[in-house]
Amino acid sequence: MGHGGSSGKSGAGGDSSLSEAGTTGATGCDALGSAGLDRGTCGVLVGSLVHRYTFDGAGTIVTDAWGGPSGKVVNSTLTGDGAVALAGHMSDQYVDLPNGILSALDSATLETWLTWSGGFEWQRIFDFGNDLTDVEGAQSTGDTYLFLTPHLPDSGEGLLRVAYQRGTEYPEVQLDATRALPAGRLTQVAVSFDAGAGTLAVYIDGTFENAKTSDLTPISFGALADINNWLGRSQYAADPELGASIEEFRIYERALSAAEVRASFEAGPNPVFLESAAP
């Protein structure tokens, strides 16, 4: 897609965003309304948010409400009511987000609200990285990536999985949730990475599911060649596209705590404090 863009804040991670949150989030946190957030948690969420894709409008342009470069919808369009609908299977419908928005960060949290249609295994909620050809837009076999799939094969209920691949010379890091991703209803899913601890964690609807610290494969988003930052599409050509309606996708420049993920879930996909705090 050739965006080549990244957030203006890079490599912050850790606790540095906490000091920014009190000032950056002040205006939005004055408009808490009925969100039920305390001011401190609100400040952290607003102050550490670096990308927010809300899928407002019509057409194919996906605007970053936080002022970053836009993405685009491929082979589909925005619904006009704040969502993008993806048909799944082999429709080749997906969202292409700007290059470099994950590799620019140390710690991060990726958070989305979607209504999953169910269906085939190995769909991708997101997949950020590249394939072995290292050609932008190409699918073959994944090389470097961070992906989230709602359904595994041969796993009973089809557990949700996060996977990280630093490169083919390293083993893949796999982190499974304790349950299936619900189908047919709006669901929040969040994946966090704490660079200091080297720990991945996954949440469903504000509830902590599982965490893992990898020893064999050092996790570093800087090692990702994230030229294909996709919602709904895999780096692997054999995998089906995601069947879902996506209402929101956010990236924070720190690993949110379990309490912060829960608070964000309770505030919902279009909270007043974020709407009013947009740059």
Q: Average pLDDT in the 39-50 region?
A: 94
Distance, C-alpha 257 to centroid of its chain: 16
pLDDT digits (tens, 9 = 90+) for 122-133: 999 999 999 999
* Cα torsion angle, 74, 79, 85, 91, sign: negative
Residue 258: phi and psi, rounded to 5, are -60, -40
Q: Considering the chain, what percentage of its residues have pLDDT values greater than 90? A: 78
Q: What is the pTM of this model?
A: 0.88
Q: Please check the confidence at residue 22 and state whether its pLDDT lies above 60.
A: no
Let me know: does 203 contact 211? Beta carbons within 8 Å.
no
Structure tokens at 121: 């295994």
State which amino acid sits at residue 19: S
Closest CA to 131 of 231, 241, 237, 235: 235
Strand ranges, E, within 124-258: 126-131, 142-149, 159-165, 173-180, 186-194, 199-204, 207-213, 228-231, 241-252
Strand partners, 131: 142
Q: Please check the confidence at residue 1 and state whether its pLDDT lies above 50.
A: no
**Within 10 Å of residue 185's Cβ, how many Cβ atoms?**
9
Residue 135: phi and psi, rounded to 5, are -105, 130
- How far are the Cα atoms of 57, 106, 273 from residue 228, in angstroms, in the given order? 24, 18, 31
SS3 270: coil
DSSP secondary structure letters along 222-259: GG---SEEEES--SBTTSPEEEEEEEEEEEESS---HH
Q: Please check the confidence at residue 167 and state whether its pLDDT lies above 70.
A: yes
pLDDT at 156: 62
* Angle, CA of 192, 195 and 201, to the nearest 5°: 25
> Whose structure tokens read 């009925």?
34
pLDDT digits (tens, 9 = 90+) for 100-142: 999 999 999 999 999 999 999 999 999 999 999 999 999 999 9
Q: Average pLDDT in the 230-244 region?
A: 98
pLDDT at 154: 62
Closest CA to 35 of 265, 257, 259: 265
Q: Structural domains in the chain?
A: 16-277 (2.60.120.200)
pLDDT at 174: 96
CA dihedral 228, 230, 233, 237 (to 10 degrees): 10
pLDDT at 180: 87
At 215, is the pLDDT very low, low, confident or very high (cuts 50, 70, 90)? confident
